Amino acid sequence: MFRNIADTFANCFKVPELKSRILFTIGVLAIVRVIAFIRVPGLDGSALSSYINAHAQGGAMGMVNMFNGGATGNCAIGGIGIMPYISATIIIQLLTAVWPKLSKLAREEGGRAKIVQYGRYLTVVLCFGWGFATAITWENPAKVFGSDFVGQLIVPSLMDHIWWYRIQTTLILTTGTMLLMWLGEQITERGIGNGVSLVITIGILSRLPSAWVGLKDMFGGTEPQHHLIGSGLVMLFLLAGVIASVIAITQAQRKIPVQYAQRAVGRKMYQGGTSFMPLKVNYAGVMPIIFAQSILMFPPMIFKNASIFFSNSPFWSETFRSLAMALDTTTASIWYLSLYSLMILFFSYFWVATQFNEIQIADDLKKNGGYIPGVRPGTGTSDYLHKAMSRITLAGAIFLTVIAVIPIILSRKMGISYAVASFFGGTSILITVGVLLDTMRQVESHLMMRHYDGFLKKGKLRGRF
């Protein structure tokens, strides 16, 4: 197996076009990593980086810093990263599903290009808002992060020109995001594809050295050697099991058989045949986890501020303080884990409901002379697809919930460093495995066109169709 993989990598550089695409992708990703270290003028990110590593790795700030490859902690020009573009894309997708005008535009010729353009405009708007909020945060870090934060990020000479700092930082952060977006699009067009996804993935993988250091610290204690070896083997098997299950569920699908009748279009006769419709088990991907994490950021902040506001009333102050602690990700209480799990289940169905249009699929099948054996065309087909998708979505949602909770339990309940625990589940492993699988498919398609074997002996990744 390993020899076959090594031969496949060697074959990648035998195809001139594929070789140039791979080298181009590597070069662009190197530029992406440089952007994560070039600091905004007038800022020193060493204090913020130390704070995130010590206190906020499992919180919202830690998640943003993870996606940006440490750029937020470095106060770099890529400090808000590619997230505004991702957010704009998600917003446009949801609006396309619920807004008839956008839905109609998406089906027209050239409509998709127009929708992509709207997403870029929205990205600029989000960048200005996100960048200005980040500039304010870097301006007063102690007020935002509390007394645990020690140090100052802004050079003292800039405090006399605070509005110049705010405008300059907002423009630089916006430009950094637009540059990252453009680099991702270049990878998609001239590289091996999945440009924006690879930009996020390289940021996640950049934390591997810190995870390795954390792993060495875990096994560098005074425990007996056989205990350390046993713990290491348990973690190794857990990591292998998580990766294997993520690969299996990511590629798992239910194949709905579809029969096409013989039909005539004009003077041309089309023969009937049998095909299948693949329904993915994890149709929502990583989106439910991102939605749940994003929303659960706010209740602890709201309740914490409410406890301060009601400081004259001991009952309400203590009530709000208890609620803030119960819903804080750093405590990982049973209330937080339960609410987090329920929100992942809810958003899994929400994403499927907005993105999977069974009525349109049934209509398209009917127009093209296709039908599911034993199921009536039209309303019967849409009802059948709805029931089938609801059942497999439950399995995918339960899987997402388990994967999302694993790193929280490892870090908060078992004392494992979050830098290490994050690679045992959550968004890190889901994004990394999904993007790498898609990238392997892209490379494999180029190899198969030149009659080379892919990453497996038969030239196919399991689950391809």
Query: Domain count of the chain?
Result: 1
Phi-psi map region of 263: left, alpha, beta (phi>0 left; psi -120 to 50 alpha): beta
Residues spanned by the domain of 159 = 19-206
Confidence of residue 450 (pLDDT cuts 50, 70, 90): low
| 62 vs 73: CA distance, rounded Å | 9
| 462 vs 308: CA distance, rounded Å | 55
Per-residue model confidence (pLDDT) at position 153:
80
Average pLDDT on 127-149 reads 80
Confidence of residue 462 (pLDDT cuts 50, 70, 90): very low
- Evaluate whether residue 111 is within a structural domain: yes
Average pLDDT on 352-379 reads 85
Task: Report yes or no: 306 and 274 within 8 Å, Cβ to Cβ.
Answer: no
Q: Tell me what the pLDDT averaged over the chain comes to.
A: 80
CATH code, domain with 191: 1.10.3370.10
220-261: pLDDT as tens digits: 655 554 456 666 677 788 888 888 888 888 888 888 888 887
Judged by average pLDDT, the poorest of 67-76, 220-229, 241-250, 442-451 is 220-229
Q: What DSSP string describes 109-120?
A: TTHHHHHHHHHH
- Evaluate whether residue 136 is within a structural domain: yes
- To which H or E segment does residue 277 belong? strand 273-280
CB burial class (10 A; 0-12, 13-18, 19+) of residue 245?
A: middle
Place of tokens 């067009």: 189
- To which H or E segment does residue 217 belong? helix 208-218
Residue 60: partners with Cβ closer than 8 Å, 6 or more residues away? 293, 294, 297
- Evaluate whether residue 263 is within a structural domain: no
- Evaluate whether residue 198 is within a structural domain: yes
Give me the helices (H) in 222-296, please: 225-251, 287-296
Per-residue model confidence (pLDDT) at position 265:
60
- Evaluate whether residue 257 is within a structural domain: no
List beta partners, residue 260: 273, 370
Q: Position 302: which residue type? A: I
Average pLDDT on 311-323 reads 80
List beta partners, residue 277: 256
320-359: pLDDT as tens digits: 888 877 777 766 678 888 888 998 999 899 888 888 888 8
| 131 vs 121: CA distance, rounded Å | 15
Confidence of residue 55 (pLDDT cuts 50, 70, 90): low
Three-state DSSP state, 77: coil
Token pair in block for residue 38: 């070039």
Token pair in block for residue 290: 């991102």
- To which H or E segment does residue 288 belong? helix 287-296
Per-residue model confidence (pLDDT) at position 59:
59
Whether residue 170 has pLDDT greater than 90: yes
Token pair in block for residue 417: 């460093």
Place of tokens 């140090």: 151
- Evaluate whether residue 284 is within a structural domain: no
- Evaluate whether residue 187 is within a structural domain: yes
Place of tokens 């590289």: 191
Per-residue model confidence (pLDDT) at position 459:
44
Per-residue model confidence (pLDDT) at position 182:
92
253-284: pLDDT as tens digits: 888 888 887 666 666 666 667 888 888 888 88
Whether residue 141 has pLDDT greater than 60: yes
- CB neighbours (10 Å) of residue 465? 10
Confidence of residue 418 (pLDDT cuts 50, 70, 90): confident
